Chains A and B, each alone.
Chain A
């Protein structure tokens, strides 16, 4: 996923994930990168190619956003292991 949406508050981030998934759009919440998401801890990753669909759905559900970014972080190259469950 190469798109990122930043939000003013976590309410909107969580709500965005819910409404996007309900509309069959991929969405994944991550700790927001400070340079793009100064306003709250969490940001949403999505497929940038779906940008218009994503923004249409969010607007229809009154989900306020801070900004939309093309985002390919260095951390994507990090070999992420599944965290061990407790």
Chain B
């Protein structure tokens, strides 16, 4: 079996991740921050160790500025709803995932003004267009770090500089890059970084978080019990508790911490180099297959470990089905929760077939996938896929 759906969730997870989940459920067991006994402390140690590992990974000086969420979506919602008020203006791009686009479209109905800067057909962003979109009432710039559809990387450093000139915070959706591409929030000048735990960070689903630069104040998305300031009926204002109401997903965070430590030992640079090599191999191989259309920059240096393509004469869903049923290759097909991105690429509404590579994928697997695509392309060109669909003719 070949798993090329790491942009949806990574698989497999390191053995240490499984062990950490099991250790928490089996041994540590307590509720962090709710009691002072040793099992509660053991659970709190797990959470704080993971928080520290993430702070180191992203070069955040103070671990308390990393708050845990259920996923990147919750982190993005926390940032967007925590910051934007009716009358504010916000700038984003046309390749955003619905985890950014849907909250923004909803905020628009509440009176927030939204400018969506169009990227070109490869998903590349023109900085001048962003510069022109910024205006005195602009309150926030939000972009993805790497497209979940075609892998196109966003020039985050230059965008952070634009935001700084404008005196507004810059929110980055690092769902596809955290754990796969080095991220230094200091060097990049990012003010808010939303990440998921279950993709390149190799943790379990139900984990994610938000880095909040010192000085950036957000209204909490949720309020509730934190284990702290218990005599008060109002939400504490100190981090991380201000944004961590309710019992955390400790089992998940235990696994996430183990995933981050696994990656830190390898080094994110090594992960990036590995994925780039696989992307380059795939792009070179696929470009030679007649009937395959590649999308995105088609340059491994300009994208993360995500590639998107279509096969002439076949629907993406058909290619995905054949890849799964006949070749044991797991791909994701369709719109990838990013209709705006597909409109940008010109692939709306049918979408594309997406391969997303991870640390555990190999060059041999990419070779096998290319062979499979060669067969599928011939098959589709001969109309075999169309008749299998039951079309007349």
Q: Which residues of A contact B (CB under 8 A)?
A: 8-15, 18, 29-32, 38-43, 62, 64
Contact = CB atoms under 8 A, between A and B. Distances in A.
B229 A42 contact: no
A18 B230 contact: no
B36 A30 contact: yes
Contact of B51 (A11, A38, A62): A11
Nearest to B37: A31
A14 B48 contact: yes
Given A15-B48, A41-B40, A42-B44, A10 B33 contact: yes
B64 A11 contact: yes
A40 B227 CA distance: 6
A29 B49 CA distance: 15
B241 interface: yes
B36 A8 contact: no
Nearest to B64: A11
Contact of B48 (A11, A31, A43, A64): A11
5 contacts: A8-B238, A10-B48, A18-B52, A30-B36, A41-B227
Given A13-B44, A42-B40, A62-B61, 7 more contacts: A10-B32, A11-B33, A11-B64, A15-B48, A18-B48, A41-B33, A62-B64
Nearest to B232: A39
Considering residues A13, A31, A41, which has the most beta carbons from chain B within 10 angstroms of its beta carbon? A41
A70 B230 CA distance: 23
Contacts of B36: 29-32, 41-43
Question: Closest 8 CB pairs between A and B?
Answer: A31-B36, A10-B33, A14-B48, A9-B228, A41-B36, A42-B36, A41-B35, A62-B62
Nearest to A14: B48
Nearest to A9: B228
B228 A42 contact: no
Interface of chain B, helix or strand or loop or mixed? loop
Contact of B229 (A13, A30, A31, A39): A39
A38 B231 contact: yes
B40 A39 contact: no
B313 interface: no
Nearest to B51: A11
Contacts of B228: 8-10, 39-40
Contacts of A39: 228-230
Considering residues B36, B41, B239, which has the most beta carbons from chain A within 10 angstroms of its beta carbon? B36
Contacts of B45: 14
B18 to A, nearest CB: 22
Contacts of B336: none
Nearest to A17: B45
Contacts of B48: 10-11, 14-15, 18
B93 interface: no
Contacts of B240: 9, 11
Considering residues A10, A32, A43, which has the most beta carbons from chain B within 10 angstroms of its beta carbon? A10
A29 to B, nearest CB: 5
B44 A10 contact: yes
Interface string B216-236: 000000000011111100001
A62 B65 CA distance: 11
Nearest to A31: B36
B34 A41 contact: yes
Interface in B39-86: 40-41, 44-45, 47-49, 51-52, 61-64
Contacts of B236: 8-9
Interface string B361-384: 000000000000000000000000
A33 to B, nearest CB: 9
Contacts of B52: 15, 18
A29 B229 CA distance: 18
Considering residues A9, A18, A31, which has the most beta carbons from chain B within 10 angstroms of its beta carbon? A9
Given A14-B44, A42-B40, A62-B64, A9 B226 contact: yes
Interface string B271-295: 0000000000000000000000000
Interface string B100-123: 000000000000000000000000
Considering residues A42, A43, A62, which has the most beta carbons from chain B within 10 angstroms of its beta carbon? A42
